[in-house]
């Protein structure tokens, strides 16, 4: 049986839900579709409070997406030290940082032309 590919909107919604399930912080959605030569359509950026929290966020996103649409990341990088974990869902790339690493790398600043949507979480 061929499974149907989820829409980007559905995938984004599931990823954000996975982040919120374990209280990921400062969630931003960057829309990169209007920028030339980008590697994907969207970035989702958030942070956790420790390497344990970062890994919990990554695990929650994987479980939420897998359970709902049977999809898994094409690639995951950075899980070993969990200061910055990148989850590549091809059109949507998730960046899960610890706060100091997020401030240092400033992804939002590097992609200043992107349309940024801040996700309001009910627990913040």
**pLDDT tens profile 14-29:** 999 999 999 999 999 9
Say if 102 falls within a structural domain: yes
User: For the whole model, what pTM was predicted?
Assistant: 0.92
Relative to beta strand 75-77, strand 25-31 is unpaired
Say if 75 falls within a structural domain: yes
If one counts the domains in the chain, the total is 1
pLDDT tens for 29-83 read 999 999 998 989 999 999 999 999 999 999 999 999 999 999 999 999 999 999 9
- Domain containing 40 equals 8-108
HEC per residue, the chain: CCCCCCCHHHHHHHHHHHHHHCCCEEEEEEECCCCCCCCCCEEEEEEECCHHHHHHHHHHHHHHHHHHHCCCCCEEECCCCCCEEEEECCCEEEEEEEHHHHHHHCHHHHCCCCEEEECCCCCC
66: domain CATH number is 3.30.460.10
- Give dist(CA 73, CA 81) in Å, integer: 19
Relative to beta strand 25-31, strand 92-98 is unpaired
Q: Are 59 and 8 in contact (CB under 8 A)?
A: no
Q: What angle do CA 100, 122, 21 make, to 5 degrees?
A: 70
pLDDT tens for 105-116 read 999 999 999 999
Say if 16 falls within a structural domain: yes
Backbone angles phi, psi at 48, to 5 degrees: -120, 175
Say if 27 falls within a structural domain: yes
Say if 120 falls within a structural domain: no
Task: Tell me the mean pLDDT in the region 90-104.
Answer: 97
Say if 73 falls within a structural domain: yes
Instruction: State residue 2's pLDDT score.
Output: 40
């Amino acid at each position: 049986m061929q499974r149907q590919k989820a829409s980007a909107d559905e995938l984004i919604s599931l990823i954000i839900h996975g982040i919120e399930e374990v209280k990921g912080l400062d969630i931003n959605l960057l829309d990169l579709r209007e920028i030339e030569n980008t590697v994907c359509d969207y970035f989702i950026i958030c942070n956790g409070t420790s390497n344990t929290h970062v890994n919990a966020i990554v695990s929650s996103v994987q479980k939420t997406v897998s359970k709902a649409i049977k999809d898994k990341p094409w690639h995951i990088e950075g899980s070993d030290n969990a200061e910055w974990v990148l989850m590549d869902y091809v059109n949507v790339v998730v960046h899960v940082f610890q706060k100091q690493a997020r401030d240092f790398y400033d992804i939002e600043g590097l992609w200043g032309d992107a349309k940024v949507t801040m996700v309001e979480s009910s627990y913040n």
